[in-house]
Amino acid sequence: MNAISQLREEHQAVTTALAILAAMADRAESSGYLHVVDAEKLLEFFRVFVDRCHHRKEEGLLFPLLEEVGIGRTGGPIGVMLAEHSQGRDSVAALSMAVAAYGAGDLAAPEEFALQARLYEELLTRHIDKENGVLFVLAERHLNDAALAGLEARMEELEREEIGAGRHQAMHRLLRDLACRYGVESDRLHCAGHHGAALCQHC
């Protein structure tokens, strides 16, 4: 498995997290109740796994390699991906504000959480489709085996530095737990590449 395959597999985990978020939003909207602890745990996944780990692998390692082989940033696919990463951070901040508002007694917060959750789900679903179907295809076409091997090694190093040993696996265990709790299918959820096979059989 090469570095691009690992990024695709991380997208599977993100897709599971988005399905959990959608289920959480449906419950919040229909009941007017938001499970604050679950919401905060899921938002931590988006901050740590998605942004500090996955997006930084792309922004700090993959995208510069693609620029070196002539894939442009300004006006090109890399620029679009970077803009959507920024939009995603704004969405997570808006979700966090809704959770905090609910904790402070705002009865309208569950509806706001549901709204922001659906916007974020739509954004990241489109984003993942673009990366899987366009950007990663370009990467596999233009980066040779040596470049991909070097990228994989640097991705592992970045992950250790950014989130620490064992945190990746812990994020997957969290997703399996929440997926079980919210009735979301997670049979394909597993750690990519060097992290090993399926983890944490909660269900």
For the entire predicted model, the pTM comes to 0.89
Q: Per-domain residue ranges for the chain?
A: 3-195
Q: Residue 168: its pLDDT value, please?
A: 84
What three-state secondary structure class fits 155?
helix
Each residue's pLDDT, cut to its tens digit, for the chain (203 residues) gives 689 999 999 999 999 999 999 999 999 999 999 999 999 999 999 999 999 999 999 999 999 999 999 998 888 899 999 999 999 999 999 999 999 999 999 999 999 999 999 999 999 999 999 999 999 999 999 999 999 999 999 999 999 888 888 888 899 999 999 999 999 987 555 444 444 333 333 33
Q: Residue 196: its pLDDT value, please?
A: 38
Give the CA distances from residue 43 to residues 28, 69, 87, 197, in Å, rounded to whole numbers and listed in that order: 15, 35, 15, 24
Q: Residue 118: its pLDDT value, please?
A: 98
Which alpha helices (DSSP H) does the chain contain, by range?
Answer: 3-31, 36-45, 56-57, 63-68, 77-103, 109-130, 136-142, 145-163, 167-181
Q: Residue 64: its pLDDT value, please?
A: 95
Q: Residue 81: its pLDDT value, please?
A: 96
Give the CA distances from residue 26 to residues 30, 35, 118, in Å, rounded to whole numbers and listed in that order: 6, 12, 10
Q: Residue 191: its pLDDT value, please?
A: 43
Task: Evaluate whether the domain defined by 3-195 bears CATH number 1.20.120.520.
Answer: yes
Give the CA distances from residue 47 to residues 24, 89, 197, in Å, rounded to whole numbers and listed in that order: 17, 8, 23
